[in-house]
Structure 1
Amino acid sequence: MQELDLEKLKYPIGKFIIPDHYSPEYLSEKIEEIETFPKRLEKEVLHLTNEQLDTPYRPDGWTVRQVIHHCAESHMNCYIRIKWALTEDRPLIKAYDEVLWSELNDNLKMPIQPTLDLLKGLHFRLAFIMKKLSESDLEKVFIHPSDNSDNKIKKIIGTYAWHGNHHLAHITTLKKYKNWK
């Protein structure tokens, strides 16, 4: 990926911007993005060869295969964190080292179809629970140990919509650069 801006490769859609206001329209749009992520991802990766899946999306970056598996792992954590926030008072969640997880054998070698299937069910559940949240539910929080900050569920909806789109853009940018169909 000669002469390409590394920052643009890392953040092809830009970094997540916290909105000033979480309107019902904003939340509905983000939930829709979360709900449709598995289908949009599958459309981009299902036909890729193993060689293409094992291509990094940027220098020193994860392979497409690792990105796909990472999305499932990250979004599973999102789901559990939301459930904790809904059922406990400001729970302190457990962080995980996504880089170390990405280097495990399943992320490096496992076929992507089981993960694509997992994402379909997981995102159905995420969207289902998100669509049913009350105003007070949206204000509930979990605490992340990295900075001890409150993470409101309404912010998490925006963050994970961005997260899926962010990693999908890694893949589509690579496909465009490599002229993969």
Structure 2
Amino acid sequence: MLDNDIERLRFPIGKFNPPNEITEAIIADWIAVLEAFPQKLSNLVSHLTKQQLDTPYRQGGWTIRQVIHHLADSHHHSYIRFKWALTEDKPVIKYYYENLWAELEDSRIAPISLSLDHLRAVHAKLVYLLKTLSDKDLEKSFIHPEHNEEVVLKENIGIYAWHSLHHYAHIEQLLVRNSWV
């Protein structure tokens, strides 16, 4: 497989590239993605068999099951990061080793319904929170220790809208490649 093919499988919608100006309309679009995502994902995966759920979306990648559990873990972290940034002055967030989390038993074998339900709840709370934020709130930030990078909340909304669509595309493309849809 060519490097270009592997890159397309790893980043089927491309890497996150924030716009130069994040407008209210862009934020509203990102929030709409987050609001619709749990049901959209559930619709995509609810019919899959155990064997299909345990199929990696690409060679060397996570299984569909691991991707779904990763989404719940990651978006749970995101919700907490928003809360920290809103209540503390540029907090340094706790980094977690997502690849190691994906190898834990719950990520490898637990029913996906646990994470689909968790995503529904976390996204409902996150979307509710995001819709209440002022322009001043959206300028608050946290520090991600992996690259000592400041992440502004309005951009973080886009990161997680992208993250939702990114992993959705991993699963959807596998389903199409294997004629499971």
Q: TM-score, length-normalised on structure 1? A: 0.97
User: 1:150 is paired with a residue of what secondary structure?
Assistant: strand
User: 1:5 is paired with a residue of what secondary structure?
Assistant: helix
What letter matches 2:117 in structure 1?
D
Superimposed CA distance per residue, residues 84-135 of structure 1 (whole angstroms, 9 cap, x where no aligned partner): 0000000011100000000000000000011111110110011110111100
Shift of 1:59: 0.3
Task: Check if 1:54 corresponds to 2:46.
Answer: no
Runs of 4 or more, structure 1, over 4 Å off, are: none
Shift of 1:12: 0.5
Shift of 1:52: 0.1
Task: Give the match for residue 101 of structure 1.
Answer: 101
Shift of 1:147: 1.6
Distance (Å, rounded) in 1 between the aligned partners of 2:94 and 2:166: 23
Map 1:28-47 to 2 at 5 A.
28-47=28-47
Task: Check if 1:15 corresponds to 2:15.
Answer: yes
Distance (Å, rounded) in 2 between the aligned partners of 1:27 and 1:155: 9
Task: Give the match for residue 69 of structure 1.
Answer: 69
What letter matches 2:35 in structure 1?
E
Task: Give the match for residue 165 of structure 2.
Answer: 165
What letter matches 2:77 in structure 1?
N
- Matched residues, percent identical? 50
* Structure 1: gaps spanning 5 or more residues: none
Distance (Å, rounded) in 1 between the aligned partners of 2:69 and 2:179: 23
Distance (Å, rounded) in 2 between the aligned partners of 1:147 and 1:171: 28
Task: Give the match for residue 137 of structure 2.
Answer: 137
Distance (Å, rounded) in 1 between the aligned partners of 2:161 and 2:113: 21
Aligned residues: 180
